[in-house]
């Protein structure tokens, strides 16, 4: 991928009540950088972010849509599902959301800088008599996401503590496609700055809740 200009970045968040969906088609997103037939997202980009508070039922068809049966993904993330073993090649397996809910998402205006700091908790696990080296164990994925934005309204402060999907675009010129990071996060704080000379600003600081997904397209 070529170097990108920061001015092409942007960020979106999910907002509002989730919306039920039934028998929603899914697409293999190998073009986004994943192994073929392992990773799927809802075809309709408007509905691609799952409500984690609602049960998600996935079905697959191995006979070109003639019949459908429940299947359990190995991993469910904010806007995609993954399988360790590739799905059937011929006839090509089809996937769909049998039932679940999606979270509508929208652009957050005023942003002019964001920083993503994904991390993993590394815990000391050295025992007595293990003197040759440190022993550690990895725990849950975590991290932070911070945004500097010009204050436009009270929308973001009003959702402090809320759990949402954050979509951080590296190039938003082709959104809803385009290189981006997607993850669940909670808005931790939103300090305001009111300079005498300058624009009022609002900093948004998020705690990442789970895995961070990168999609190249």
**Last residue of one domain, picked from the residues 58, 84, 103:** 103
Domain assignment of residue 127, given as a range: 106-215
Q: What is the pTM of this model?
A: 0.89
The reply to whether 82 and 110 lie within a common domain is no
Count of the separate structural domains present in the chain: 2
Cis peptide before 62 (omega within 30 of 0): no
Using CA of residue 155, residue 209, residue 53, residue 43, what is the dihedral sign? positive
* Three-state secondary-structure class, residue 143: strand
In a domain, 197, yes or no: yes
In a domain, 113, yes or no: yes
In a domain, 5, yes or no: no
Ordered per-residue pLDDT tens for the chain, 217 residues: 678 889 999 999 998 899 999 999 999 999 999 999 999 999 999 999 999 999 999 999 999 999 999 999 999 999 999 999 999 999 999 999 999 999 999 999 999 999 999 988 888 888 887 767 777 777 667 899 999 999 999 999 999 999 999 999 999 999 999 999 999 999 999 999 999 999 999 999 999 998 899 999 8
The reply to whether 152 and 195 lie within a common domain is yes
CA distance 61 to 43: 16
What is the signed CA dihedral for 16, 146, 52, 212, rounded to 10 degrees? 140
């Amino acid at each position: 991928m070529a170097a990108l200009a920061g001015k092409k970045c942007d960020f979106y968040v999910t907002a509002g009540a989730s919306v039920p969906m039934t028998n929603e088609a899914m697409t293999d997103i190998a073009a986004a950088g994943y192994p073929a037939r392992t990773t799927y997202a809802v075809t309709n980009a408007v509905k691609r972010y799952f409500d984690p508070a609602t049960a998600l039922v996935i079905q697959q068809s191995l006979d070109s849509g003639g019949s459908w049966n429940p299947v359990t993904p190995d991993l469910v993330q904010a806007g995609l599902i993954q399988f360790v073993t590739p799905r059937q090649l011929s006839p090509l397996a089809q996937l769909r959301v049998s039932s679940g809910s999606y979270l509508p998402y929208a652009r957050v205006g005023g942003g002019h800088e964001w920083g993503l700091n994904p991390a993993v908790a590394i815990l000391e696990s050295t025992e007595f008599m293990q003197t040759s080296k440190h022993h550690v164990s990895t725990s849950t994925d975590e991290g932070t996401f911070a945004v500097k934005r010009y204050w436009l309204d009270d929308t973001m402060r009003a959702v402090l503590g809320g759990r949402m999907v954050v979509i951080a675009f590296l190039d938003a010129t082709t959104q809803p496609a385009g290189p981006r990071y997607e993850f669940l996060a909670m808005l931790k704080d939103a300090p305001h700055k009111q300079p005498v000379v300058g624009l009022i600003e609002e900093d948004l600081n998020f705690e990442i809740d789970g895995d961070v997904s990168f999609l190249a397209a």
